[in-house]
Structure 1
Amino acid sequence: MRAHIIFSTLIIILFLGIGCSSNKTERIPIESFFSTPEKTSFKISPDGKFIAYIGLDNHCKNIFLLNLANRDSSKQLTYQNDMNVNSFVWGDNKEIIFSIEQTSNDSLRLYSVNILTDSLQPLIKPMKAKFRWVQPAQLYDNGIIVAINNRDSSIFDLHKLYIDGRKSEMILQNPGNLNSWFVSNDGQVRLVMANDSVEESLMYRPDNQQPFHQVLKNDFGSTIIPMGFVKNSTTNIYALSNIGRDKLSLVEYDLNQKMEIHEVFSNKEVDLDRGGYSSFTNDMMYSSFTIFKKKRHFFSSNTAQIFKRITDKAKGSEFDIIDADSTFSKIIIRTYTDTNPGAIYYFDCQDNELHKLTDNNPNLKDRELSQTELVKYQARDGMMITGFITYPLHEKRKNLPVVVLPHDGPNQREVWGFDHEAQFFANRGYVVFQMNYRGSVGYGKAFWSAGFKEWGGKIQDDITDGVKWLIKEGIADKDRIAIVGKGFGGYSALHAACFNSDLYACAVSYSGYTNLFTYFRDIPPYVKPYLQKYYQIIGNPIRESGMFKQISPVFHSNRVKIPVLIAQGGKDRFSSVTDANQFVQKLKNNNIPVQYILKEEEGRTFKKDENVIQYYQELEKFLDKYIGN
């Protein structure tokens, strides 16, 4: 039974070799992280009998239908072959209303399709306009209410589009300051939000025949967000409000008495999330909030029991509610963890089972991926900043190359969950550092407003202080740190290249803002009613031109001392191609290594798979060159 010594030694060497190689992370193909999902936008009919979703046919997005009682009768509903279906809603149990994807030059197209007869009809003539769904988006007397800006590109009017052949009609002309509308179950538009410069007003009317009157007016820094009417009431609403408090809390508000009745639920640390209200039953089913992982507070034992049953079936995965039928007995969910993109299921309360509809990303389903951890650090002025670190697998957590990944916005927030981009970087051997700098939402209005007029100031300090914290903790190799971002994150990367070249080895900007003067000059017409808000949050380019020049990267290219990669869409309406070209040329003139990816046909976000993949291929090579192992 014993082998010769030399043979045993060979086996040991081979075993050790295998063991070492198994600890090296295999590079997962870029396509596995960033290719377009084949199935998205799952929505269930109000009666719970059908599920519709957007899938691919001949490289175009179309609507498909699942019959839950008879899968064999499932079918394709639309057959677009040159334009994509963009979004859809269930009008009722038989009709689906959908829109066709628009580029900046495309006309608005809205259609209805009957799931029983497959008959398809246009609801409007193609027009140069944008539209918004008005919630709850459903049919009222065979018509759906939508907001369209065809009369004036800067404002949206309410239109009712009919599926029975009647001509569409404008049912509410916008005087110029309305930005949100709320429809009650009988189809009456009783509630609207108005925006006047830096103030917002809640407006109410008892029915469609009466004029609106002002219920509440406040500065935009404080807000009330209607969730829906209280059951059996046309005067009381549930709303999220931070008026008179720092955090968004759930309240009941009386529109007749013009006063908050009581606070229903709140959390001391963070704002409450939107969601949890049923437009079918006019009930608040739950409130949710996110500190690390999402938590829910339930308002009925029945709802709590349903969520417990789903939690048990999800087997350790977190989940979000995507849609539900009118009785909340068939529920579509998305499962996920930080290391698993998860899947889409529907849960049937009758059979108590999760039925899989699709994997969110089958290419990553069985891959070993990296965990994401919550961290906190103190900025230089004492403010506590929350962040997330995703470590590469099989590496000691010391002296590692780092990708700093500030989020877009800044009116957004990073939360725990599956992040394709973070996993891509971690798979390449980099620590990924994401932070919720001041100005991020979710932590109350004091934290949010602390970022006002600090785009090039304290927000950037928060990012810098986080990087210095990583170095102090021994996590980061101080000579191998890159900053990568999109939109505001891209602006932060360019700002860092100009003013913090000593801290970073390289910088990457995807649709980043190079010139804040042109950022304001080129904003779309429908954003212009909010200009005064932008002046309060960012600054006024005329009155504060000195600050704008100081914080716009295009004026400080001579300070850049590190390699830069810039990716830009030719149709990006927030980031000027002319400014990007100028910035790139100045770097070339100064002999700074710079790479420029310009996709003329793309907008702020690359949509074509080949362009997305090329960007990440070039990004991968760029990082390998300047901070790679």
Structure 2
Amino acid sequence: MNRIALNALPSLLPVLLLAGALPVHAQNVAASATAASEVPLIERAKIFGNASKSGANISPDGKWLSWIAPRDGVLNVWVAPSSDLARAKPLTEEKSRPIRSSFWAPDSNTVLFIQDKGGDENFLLYGVDVVSGKQTNYTPFEKTRVQIVNISSKVKDRILIGVNNRDPKWHDVHSLDLKTGKLTLVQQNDGYAGFLADEQLKLRLTIKARADGGATYYRIVDGKIETTPVTEVGLDDSQTTAPLGFTTDGKTLYWTDSRNRNTSALLAQDVASGKTTVVAEDPRADISNALQDKRTGRVLAYGVDYLKQEYVPLTEELKADLAYLKKNIKGQFFLSSRNEADDKWLITVDPVTAPSSTWLYDRKAKKLSQLYVSRPELEGAPLAAMHPQEIKSRDGLTLVSYLTLPKSVDAAGTGRASKPVPLVLMVHGGPWARDRYGYNSYHQWLANRGYAVLSVNYRGSTGFGKNFISAADLQWGRKMHDDLLDAVDWAVKNGITTSDKVAIMGGSYGGYATLAGLAFTPTTFACGVDIVGPSNLFTLLQTIPPYWEAGKQQFYKRMGDPTTEEGKALLKERSPLNFAADIQRPLLIGQGANDPRVNVRESVQIVDAMKAKNIPVTYVEFPDEGHGFARPVNNIAFNAVTENFLGKCLGGRAEPIGGTIKASTAQVKYGAEFAPGLVEALK
């Protein structure tokens, strides 16, 4: 692959990857809507509609460029000769569900992509021949989810994939012949979380979950898994320690490793002797990625993401390249794709206050050429700056957070508000994930409507070391929620907002945090927007997908164990459903009917509980969506309801709902009368 990814061997822990008269101190908040009106309103569709182009990749031989772009209004794969983008053509013809990413086969003849049905996350693998346009479904199975085990630059005609069509809990490793589509079983999986192969597509290592939430690693020799472990990892290190990949000769294995330290260091292990050498480490944050030499597989540079992403070169050649890019690019940049000769790079540039763009970098000529702007309709739009913040929790943790202020109170983008404005606390999902610096569609949209937006990496967020993750163990709805409250207090103390004008919003765990906020701290937030959030932690753990079996013990250790009486009591205590009667503030819920991670029942349960107590709630369900809303028409429809809901709650401005609901598959199951403009939109 072009770079070592930190999920080279699958993690054991999947990610669940939104009143009367004002007191005197809040009068400025109400006035902010008037000030915001002086800033041009950015249309919802320009922010949440299809990007013109995204996800570009260069083929290994450097002859082709591929990207994702609309075809008849639906995102599909496009391709063009790298020397002549005017000859671009669509390769796929999806009619409803967007293709959101693609990648090249090592032979440069085929573009690969995965696709599910209606958000069920049963991802199948497809390939399209660049010349003929012939599309092949390589995994034509039902209720099956494919995993990519390894794509090697040295083996051109096949790749390794994992398929769970034999046992839904475990992915058997197969060799896929890219020309014929033939699948050949390489390793039956009888209870292993994942496998690591070398550049010859030879399986070398496997991982097995331990009962304590840790992991045991075994070598694979001549196709047989050894019975004696090669190394073990405890619960604390389980999310921050993993093998990344081998050098081309198979003699060195790279690890991201937090054992005997807090943040993950990049280690090189001599396979023969077992000796490890520290390649890179940073006390602030985990090493986030590494760039390898295309020929040898040796690491040339690595990335660290604390407040912002930084590349650190390890060779003089890379130092010169990164210095040139830094000098000639305005904004944060990411190396997104490289050809096999490594003389052509695709660079994604993110200025935050302008739409992202993708450039071709010719390393030999030291030349940058712009390929496209992702959302040209946002060029010149009043986009707001994002400001990294370090906020202290009540018990001394540092919460890396990101603040965006509306231009009405921070026209110069200084990060200081001239007066308080309503605030939306945007809580990320996971919870084992993180917020990052960069263009954020929700930040831009809400700031344009007149709100300050604050995203907080609460304890449990990844990237800041193992201690920060472990500080969240068994703290759902408690210390994790305290971190969010502490961030709101910080915003109030710094004059960003007032305590009576704060909404909470988020998806997945962020949806749980929204429900927890309204149920556990009923008067803290003015309102809440929950997107695919779990309300009952006990039923959540009962309905997780079968292919998450390897991560089940980590869920139990970090959330609460439903197989013990103590664990059951804790899960009951931390489930907002059981405190639905305490909710006092307006709530809007959005849910995908096919969500395999957070079952639709999670939303239905709390809506029913609130209905029974005559507590207002608005519930919107999408029959063709899963864990989040992939189709732009659905995302736009829900956000149309959301911004009018927030407008009534916080006093910001809103674009009318208009025909967005009718254009989507939205089903308003309950409470249309509680969301401004929704009853009219349904007529």
TM-score, scaled to structure 1: 0.90
Equivalent-residue separation in structure 1 for 2:481 and 2:284 (angstroms)? 24
Which residue does 1:172 correspond to in 2?
187
Matches within 5 A, 1:568-579: 568-579=591-602
Q: Which amino acid aligns with 1:183?
A: A
Equivalent-residue separation in structure 1 for 2:152 and 2:72 (angstroms)? 29
Cα deviation for residue 322 of structure 1 reads: 0.9
Partner secondary structure for residue 571 of structure 2: helix
Which residue does 2:296 correspond to in 1?
281
Which residue does 1:77 correspond to in 2?
91
Structure 2 runs not aligned, ≥5 long = 1-33, 410-416, 653-683
2:490 equivalent to 1:469? yes
Q: Which of 384, 388, 395 lines up with 2:398 in the alignment?
A: 384
- Structure 1 residues 68 and 257, CA, compared in 2 at 3 Å: closer, same or farther? same
2:575 equivalent to 1:558? no
Cα deviation for residue 313 of structure 1 reads: 2.6
2:545 equivalent to 1:531? no
Equivalent-residue separation in structure 2 for 1:505 and 1:467 (angstroms)? 12
Which residue does 1:228 correspond to in 2?
245
Q: Which of 318, 322, 341 lines up with 2:332 in the alignment?
A: 318
Cα deviation for residue 357 of structure 1 reads: 2.5
Partner secondary structure for residue 504 of structure 1: coil
Cα deviation for residue 67 of structure 1 reads: 0.8
Equivalent-residue separation in structure 2 for 1:611 and 1:114 (angstroms)? 31
Q: Deviations over 1:577-607 (max 9, x none)?
A: 3342332233344443321111222211112
Equivalent-residue separation in structure 2 for 1:78 and 1:382 (angstroms)? 52
Matches within 5 A, 1:498-513: 498-513=519-534
- Structure 1 residues 164 and 620, CA, compared in 2 at 3 Å: closer, same or farther? closer
2:265 equivalent to 1:249? yes
- Structure 1 residues 601 and 385, CA, compared in 2 at 3 Å: closer, same or farther? same
Maintained 8 Å contact 2:104/2:111: yes
Which residue does 2:443 correspond to in 1?
422
Equivalent-residue separation in structure 2 for 1:615 and 1:252 (angstroms)? 47
Maintained 8 Å contact 1:347/1:354: yes
Equivalent-residue separation in structure 2 for 1:85 and 1:435 (angstroms)? 30
Which residue does 1:162 correspond to in 2?
177
Maintained 8 Å contact 2:192/2:206: no
Cα deviation for residue 44 of structure 1 reads: 1.0
Q: Deviations over 1:98-136 (max 9, x none)?
A: 245212679765444433444544545444311011233
Q: Which amino acid aligns with 2:624?
A: E
Maintained 8 Å contact 2:152/2:199: no
Q: Which amino acid aligns with 2:432?
A: N
Maintained 8 Å contact 1:227/1:277: no
- Structure 1 residues 479 and 119, CA, compared in 2 at 3 Å: closer, same or farther? closer
Q: Which amino acid aligns with 1:488?
A: Y
Maintained 8 Å contact 2:511/2:531: yes
User: Over aligned residues, Cα RMSD in angstroms?
Assistant: 2.5
Matches within 5 A, 1:136-285: 136=151, 140=155, 142-165=157-180, 167-179=182-194, 181-197=195-211, 198-205=213-220, 207-208=222-223, 214-223=229-238, 224-230=241-247, 232=249, 234-260=250-276, 262-278=277-293, 280-285=295-300
Maintained 8 Å contact 1:33/1:424: yes
Maintained 8 Å contact 1:313/1:353: no
2:457 equivalent to 1:436? yes
Which residue does 1:12 correspond to in 2?
none
Maintained 8 Å contact 1:136/1:182: no
Matches within 5 A, 1:339-354: 339-354=353-368
Moved more, 210-219 or 443-452: 210-219
Q: Which amino acid aligns with 1:243?
A: R
Which residue does 2:72 correspond to in 1?
58
Q: Which amino acid aligns with 2:403?
A: I
Q: Which amino acid aligns with 1:90?
A: W
Equivalent-residue separation in structure 2 for 1:139 and 1:587 (angstroms)? 58
Maintained 8 Å contact 2:153/2:340: no
- Structure 1 residues 558 and 126, CA, compared in 2 at 3 Å: closer, same or farther? closer
Q: Which amino acid aligns with 1:306?
A: D
Partner secondary structure for residue 527 of structure 1: helix
Q: Deviations over 1:474-493 (max 9, x none)?
A: 22122211111111111111
Which residue does 1:307 correspond to in 2?
322
Maintained 8 Å contact 2:425/2:454: yes
Q: Percent identity?
A: 26
Maintained 8 Å contact 1:95/1:114: yes
- Structure 1 residues 247 and 150, CA, compared in 2 at 3 Å: closer, same or farther? same
Matches within 5 A, 1:348-497: 348-395=362-409, 396-497=417-518
Which residue does 2:149 correspond to in 1?
134
Cα deviation for residue 353 of structure 1 reads: 2.6
Equivalent-residue separation in structure 2 for 1:425 and 1:467 (angstroms)? 17
- Structure 1 residues 98 and 429, CA, compared in 2 at 3 Å: closer, same or farther? same
TM-score, scaled to structure 2: 0.83
Partner secondary structure for residue 438 of structure 1: coil
Equivalent-residue separation in structure 2 for 1:340 and 1:129 (angstroms)? 40
Which residue does 2:311 correspond to in 1?
296
Equivalent-residue separation in structure 1 for 2:210 and 2:108 (angstroms)? 40
Maintained 8 Å contact 1:374/1:388: yes
Q: Which amino acid aligns with 2:494?
A: E
Residue correspondences, number: 606
Cα deviation for residue 319 of structure 1 reads: 0.5
Which residue does 2:24 correspond to in 1?
none
Maintained 8 Å contact 2:187/2:223: no
Q: Which of 605, 609, 612 lines up with 1:582 in the alignment?
A: 605
Q: Which amino acid aligns with 2:45?
A: E
Moved more, 609-618 or 351-360: 351-360
Maintained 8 Å contact 2:507/2:531: yes
Structure 1 runs not aligned, ≥5 long = 1-19
